[in-house]
């Protein structure tokens, strides 16, 4: 496959970046999108040029490291996959592919396609945990019965890998889907009740402080989320937040 890549190049956080065009040949349909970029980088290194920097780690859709806005969509045109799982067979010979970093004021560019997503870590630190001491006195998981429906919903919310595609897709760069997944995974379980009020208040406050936008329910996040995190989580977080503020 022969492709034309248009890639955002930016030397460092302060530099003014620009799109650069790279023709590339010999791409197989079985390659992942990141492998395609590996091929490009090998060529660049051989030519003595600076390779394109991008985030990745597990390359199997579980770590949430990979990102990229590909032809205007986070993680590319495929559904329910991360960029590392995106196959090149989704593209056609002769295509032009525009590759940009995730754009949000709260996700500043570090270099090229790498953005700083530590804003998500800070939201998580603000309340995405339960303070139960499990070292040495672990209690059997089944000692507190949990309704199957709630257990499933909680599990599904917990599959969020924190990739940031929801923010990247949203026209408002809102982090509501991510934050609501992290709130929901605890809100649905008895273990999460103790800190329920502070959790939602603190996580939402942190989310706002980071400069993410306001949700207007366009639903783009849910469509683009590689883990299929549902909008129901946002409604749940809104309920949790309302009940938390009414409790003061």
Partner 1 sequence: MGIISSSIARKVAMALSGLFLVLFLGQHFTINLTSTFSPETFNEFSHFMGTNFLVQAILQPVLIFGVIFHFVMGFILEIRNRSARQISYVSYKGSANSSWVSRNMIYSGIVILAFLGLHFYDFWFPEIAYKYIEGNPADATRYYGELVEKFHSPVRTGLYVLSFIFLALHLYHGFASSFQSVGFNNKYATALKKFAKVYAIAIPAGFIFIALFHHFNH
Residue 217 binds to ligand HEM (criterion: CB under 6 A): yes
Residue 218 binds to ligand HEM (criterion: CB under 6 A): no
Distance CA 248, CA 243 (A): 9
Distance CA 74, CA 76 (A): 5
User: For 54, how many CA atoms within 13 A lie in the half-sphere containing its CB?
Assistant: 27
Q: Catalog residues that contact ligand SF4 under the rule CB under 6 A.
A: 160-166, 177-178, 181, 225-227, 229
Q: Give yes or no for a contact between 102 and 167, defined as CB atoms under 8 angstroms apart.
A: yes
DSSP letters of 58-92?
Answer: SSSSSS-----EETTEET-SSSS--GGG-BGGGS-
DSSP letters of 192-241?
Answer: GSTTHHHHHHHHHHHHHHTT--------HHHHH-TT---THHHHHHHHHH
Specify the residue, 109 or 173, whose C-beta has the smaller distance to ligand HEM. Answer: 173
Q: Min. distance of Cβ 225 from ligand SF4 in angstroms?
A: 3
DSSP letters of 132-168?
Answer: ---SS-PPPGGGS---HHHHHHHHHHHT-----HHHH
Give bridge partners of residue 111 from the DSSP assignment: 114
Token digits of residue 166: 């929801």
Residue 243 binds to ligand HEM (criterion: CB under 6 A): no
Pick out residues in 11-70 that bind ligand FES (CB under 6 A): 56-59, 61-66
Residue 160's binding partner among ligand HEM, ligand SF4, ligand FES, none (Cβ under 5 to 8 angstroms by kind) is: ligand SF4
How many residues sit in the footprint of ligand HEM (CB under 6 A)? 2
Q: Min. distance of Cβ 112 from ligand FES in angstroms?
A: 16
Residue 166's binding partner among ligand FES, ligand SF4, ligand HEM, none (Cβ under 5 to 8 angstroms by kind) is: ligand SF4
Q: Min. distance of Cβ 150 from ligand FES in angstroms?
A: 27
Residue 84 binds to ligand FES (criterion: CB under 6 A): yes
Contacts to ligand FES by CB under 6 A: 56-59, 61-66, 82-84
Contacts to partner 1 by CB under 8 A: 6, 8, 19, 69, 71-73, 77, 98, 100, 103-106, 169, 171-174, 176, 204-205, 207-208, 211-220, 223-224, 231-232, 234-239, 241-242, 245
């Amino acid at each position: 496959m022969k492709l034309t890549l248009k890639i955002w190049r930016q030397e460092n956080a302060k530099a003014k970046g620009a799109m650069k065009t790279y023709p590339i040949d010999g791409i197989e349909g079985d390659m992942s999108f990141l492998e395609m970029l590996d091929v490009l980088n090998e060529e660049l290194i051989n030519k003595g040029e600076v390779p394109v920097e991008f985030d990745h780690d597990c390359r199997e859709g579980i770590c949430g490291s990979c990102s990229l806005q590909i032809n205007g969509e986070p993680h590319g045109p495929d559904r329910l996959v991360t960029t590392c799982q995106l196959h090149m067979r989704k593209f056609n010979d002769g295509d032009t592919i525009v590759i940009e970093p995730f754009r949000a004021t709260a996700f500043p560019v570090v270099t090229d396609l790498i953005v700083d997503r530590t804003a998500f870590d800070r939201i998580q630190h603000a309340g995405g945990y339960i303070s139960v001491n499990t070292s040495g006195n672990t209690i059997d998981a089944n000692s507190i019965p949990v309704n199957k429906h709630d257990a499933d919903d909680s599990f599904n919310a917990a599959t969020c890998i924190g990739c940031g595609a929801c923010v990247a897709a949203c026209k408002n760069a809102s982090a509501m889907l991510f934050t609501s997944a992290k709130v929901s995974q605890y809100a649905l379980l008895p273990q999460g009740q103790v800190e329920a009020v502070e959790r939602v208040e603190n996580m939402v406050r942190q989310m706002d402080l980071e400069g993410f936008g306001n949700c207007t329910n366009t639903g783009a996040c849910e469509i683009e989320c590689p883990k299929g995190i549902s909008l129901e989580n946002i409604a749940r977080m809104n309920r949790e937040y309302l009940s938390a503020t009414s409790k003061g």
